[in-house]
Amino acid sequence: MKIILCLFMLMFYSCDDGDCGSTLLGDDSCDTVSESGQFDSADVCDGDALSCSWVFVANEGNYGQTNGTVSMISDNGEVYSTDIIGQTVQSLQVYDDKLLVLINGDSKLKIYDITTSGLSMPGIEIDLNNSSPREMTIVGDKLYFTNWNTQDVKVFNLFNYSIEAQIPVQGLPEDIEFDGQYLWVTIPHSDSSFATGTTVCKIDPLINELVKTIDVGEGPQQLAIEGEEIFISRTFYDSDWNTFHGASKISGNEVSINTYGSGTPCGGAIIRHNSNMMRSSGGGLAIMDNELNLLPVSIGNFDQSQVYHVEKIAGYFWFALTNYDDFNEVYVLNDFGDIINTYEVGTNPGDFASWPNND
């Protein structure tokens, strides 16, 4: 295991309103700006704070290139960026005052301290031995993350920074969520040749073992949990690489499957909002009814081919849009679908994480 000791030095460059300069200090106060999609968190600030809160954006970088970064959006709407940290910055999680970053192409985990002044660089780097990490979730003081090359879920101890268990699965695992008792993991590809997968795995974190595998239809991607029900977005391809999409639901021993038809590239976000489940479709988010049919799009009106990822943060909807080249922006929308903020970020923006983590 390779560990680089953390040095308390800020290494940011660029911001959305010009040259940030070499000193990153806030003004004499930190105002609440919740109406712009940020947090009411002035209680964590002092007079030297750069920001009361941060939204982090994983900028994957160009395919096959080592130019992945993390953008940081302050509660004043300023955007800062780390220097290049690796190839394909895949996913982010906040654990207390630390930012955890999985980097897929380089197979490493990076851990940074978070303060109101930003991230402490260069952080701690942990070599994951070519595991090809994907998504992660936190249960107590353990980080569970999926891996394609090793076809498993690894358990990382956040106290002593060591891998303490590996849970094998059949296929390439992607999303992972915790329902309070069990971990749920999607398998969009059944083997290393990227054949279409059809299953979701149920894992008991008390014993770190797979306890059940459930067939939910082709291409399970993202997960959302509502009570005892597990909702799954699905995206899959035919032999000519035409894209199809759908959704499934696990309710006890019953599985509901609805396939919508062609269209909707990439994974397809699935989000719990008020009493509804919503799926990304048609350039925005659409409510799913009890039979998983999609109602008309009610939030967002973008080019669907550019919608790479969507999350709900502190009551607002954050859309990551990209053309996989020179258009890379984040849009923040309210409940009515109004655009209340737009940010320019790094190449191929994907996952989000927020601090303080008020979800």
| Arch. (CATH architecture) of 12-355 | 7 Propeller (2.130)
Over 80: is that where the pLDDT of 152 sits?
A: yes
Note the pLDDT of residue 19: 30
Contact 313, 55 (CB under 8 A): yes
Q: To the nearest whole percent, how much of the chain has pLDDT over 70?
A: 85
Cα–Cα nearest to 202, from 233, 219, 188, 181: 181
Residue ranges of the domains in the chain?
12-355
Residue 41: pLDDT band (50, 70, 90) is: very low
Judged against a pLDDT cut of 90, whether residue 48 lies above it is answered with no
Angle formed at CA 169 by CA 248 and CA 139, multiple of 5 degrees: 80
Eight-state DSSP code of residue 68:
B
Looking at residue 7, what is its pLDDT? 25
Q: Render pLDDT for 253-311 as a digit per residue (tens, 0 to 9).
A: 999 999 998 876 666 899 999 989 999 999 999 999 999 999 999 999 999 999 999 99
pLDDT at 331: 98
What integer pLDDT is reported at residue 261 of this predicted model?
85
Cβ atoms of 255 and 249 within 8 Å: the answer is yes
Residue 106, token pair as written in the block: 């380089």
Of 73 and 29, which is predicted with more confidence? 73
Q: What is the rounded distance in angstroms from the CA atom of residue 320 to the CA atom of residue 58?
A: 10
pLDDT at position 45 is 60
d(CA 48, CA 29): 8
Q: How many helices (H) and strands (E) does the chain have?
A: 0, 30
pLDDT of residue 358: 53
Average pLDDT of every residue of the chain: 87
> pLDDT category, 126, cuts 50, 70, 90?
very high
Query: Mean pLDDT across the stretch 182-197?
Result: 97
Q: With pLDDT > 90 as the criterion, what percentage of the chain qualifies? A: 79
Higher pLDDT, 34 or 214: 214
Cα separation of 154 and 252, whole Å?
Answer: 26
Arithmetic mean of pLDDT, 172-195: 97
pLDDT band at 241 (very low <50, low <70, confident <90, very high): confident
pLDDT band at 320 (very low <50, low <70, confident <90, very high): very high
Distant-in-sequence, close-in-space partners of 149: CB < 8 Å, separation ≥ 6: 107, 130, 131, 132, 192
